[in-house]
Amino acid sequence: MNQRTIVVQRDVQSDQKADAAAERERLGRRGTLVVNLLSSPGAGKTTLLEATARHFADRRSIAVLVGDLETDRDAQRLSPLMPVAQLTTGGACHLELPLVQRGLKALGDPEVDFLFIENVGNLVCPASHDLAEHLRIVLISTTEGDDKPGKYPKMFRTSQAMVITKLDLLPHVPFSVEAVTEDAHRIQPQLKVLTNCALNGSGIENWCNFLEEQHQQQLAIYHEPAGNR
Amino acid sequence: MHERSLIRSLLRQVGQIVVAEGGGQVTEIRVQVGDLSGVEPLLFQMAFDDMVPALFSSDCRLALEMVPVTAVCSECKHQFEIVDFQFRCPKCQTNLVQVIQGDEVKLISVSINSNNSIEGVAS
Ligand SMILES: [Zn+2]
């Protein structure tokens, strides 16, 4: 009997992280900024995507991969506005890179300016998975309460921006934009905070400008002219 | 339950190591889980117990160690533990801090029992 211990010291997700980095580079090189949208169910990811598509209209090409536990309702809503592939997780709580790659293939690997990934509604599990995104955005609606960042630190720590939605409901709900911003900044000081309201469209222009800015900044390293399709 | 997905990755890595080591029975897998990894230790253990018998012996033990979140200050280089997810340097109060430990799930070591008596001699 020969008992021995092999010291490894390796990140359990190192293979997945390397795959995600390679995919991110591939998409970035050809001018696609990958945007991973995360939130609780019902925070308004689909509505934000609809408004984004309308704002960009013919100026920017976009496509979306919609993660859903079982149904394709969100995909149906979005399909008149942009190419959509549905990623059904069969009840799983998050998306993983192979699903994203399959969705991209289903779309014919389109050369778009922005590829959005609408993650499944969950503020915990998706935070642990790199989907090759350049930008991780966490959405929080005013109806959810302003104590979310402290409750889901990893999600807010790993995101680059927080989008506060349903601002029109602010007079009716116990939610403070200042409180949620302060809470989020304790966890991620660099977190960019944006607000919007789907009903009157306020904040959408700011959001799209932010996306444009990120497109330019993040893809500059690939030395390609930032998408002038 | 992303714990199952992490266990799947973990067991795949262990499997590769066992093959590279020329086989044997895995008796213990040591793992470090950071407080910022989003992993619930109880669910992690349950997923392990559930999935390990299919690949290795059910005698294979998971040694799980929780790791506190540690950061280093970008300004004064002070190294400190993050408590209550307050990402601020206690010395100079800046919030430009870098997490150096506690946000990942790490395979530390694999213990293997091989009945192969030649092995010790050959190497
Ligand atoms: Zn300091």
- Ligand 1 centroid vs B80 CA: distance in angstroms? 9
Q: How far does the centroid of ligand 1 lie from the alpha carbon of residue A179, in Å? A: 25
A80's CB contacts (< 8 A; 6+ apart) are: none
Determine what percent of chain A is predicted with pLDDT higher than 90: 79
Q: What is the pLDDT of residues A105-148, one digit of tens each?
A: 999 999 999 999 999 988 988 999 999 999 999 999 999 999 99
B2 is in an annotated binding site: yes
Q: How far apart are CA B90 and CA B88, in angstroms?
A: 6
CA-to-CA distance for B107 and A64, rounded, in angstroms? 35
Q: Encode pLDDT of A153-172 as tens digits.
A: 999 999 999 999 999 999 99
CA distance A151 to chain B (A): 10
Tokens for B27?
């008796």
8 Å CB contact of A93 and B1: yes
Instruction: Give the one of B13, B17, B95 whose C-beta lies nearest to A12's C-beta.
Output: B13
Q: H-helix or E-strand containing A108?
A: none
* Class of residue B58 by CB neighbours under 10 A (exposed 0-12, middle 13-18, buried 19+): exposed
| Percent of chain A residues topping a pLDDT of 70 | 97
Cβ–Cβ contacts within 10 Å for residue B42, how many?
A: 10
Domain assignments of chain B as residue spans, ordered by start: 1-113
ipTM: 0.86
For residue A223, the model assigns a pLDDT of 67
Per-residue pLDDT for B31 more than 60? yes
Interface touch A2/B31, C-beta < 8 Å: no
Question: Hey, which CATH number is domain B1-113, 3.90.550.10, 3.40.50.920, 3.20.20.70, 3.30.2320.80?
Answer: 3.30.2320.80
Give the residue with greater pLDDT, A138 vs A222. A138
* pLDDT mean over A197-215: 94
For chain B, what percentages of helix, strand and coil (3-state, to nearest 5) are there?
30, 30, 35
- Tell me: pLDDT of B60 over 90: yes
> Best of B3, B5, B48 to disrupt the A interface by mutation (most A CBs within 10 Å)?
B5
First-last CA distance in chain A:
66
pTM, two decimal places: 0.89
Among chain A residues, the shortest Cα distance to B102 is held by A154
- Residues of chain B with C-beta less than 8 angstroms from the C-beta of A8: 13, 17, 107-110
Looking at residue B113, its pLDDT comes to 93
Average model confidence (pLDDT) across chain B = 90
**Cβ-count burial A36-72 (b if 16+ within 10 Å, e if not):** bbbbbeebbbbbbbbbbbebbeeebbbbbbbbbeeee
> Region A55-66: what's the mean pLDDT?
95
Q: Using the mean position of ligand 1's atoms as its centre, give its distance from the Cα of residue B69 in Å.
A: 16
Q: What is the residue-wise DSSP string for A148-161?
A: HHHHSHHHHHS-SE
The pLDDT value recorded for residue B120 is 45
Residue A102 has pLDDT above 90, yes or no: yes
> Within an 8 Å CB–CB cutoff, is residue A5 touching chain B?
yes
Q: Which CATH architecture has domain A25-223?
A: 3-Layer(aba) Sandwich (3.40)
> 3-state SS string over B23-70?
CCEEEEEEEEEECCCCCCHHHHHHHHHHHHHHHCCCCCEEEEEEECCE
What local confidence, expressed as pLDDT, does residue A228 receive?
A: 52
Residue A199's pLDDT band, with cuts at 50, 70 and 90, is confident
| B60 annotated ligand binder | no
Q: Pick B38's closest partner by Cβ from A96, A127, A189.
A: A127
Distance CA A224, CA A155 (A): 31
Mean pLDDT, rounded, for B17-44: 94
Q: For chain A, what are the domain ranges?
A: 25-223
Give me the residue label for tokens 């503020």: A123
Q: Tokens 């530390």 belong to which residue?
A: B108
pLDDT score, position A229:
47
Is A225 a residue whose pLDDT tops 60? no
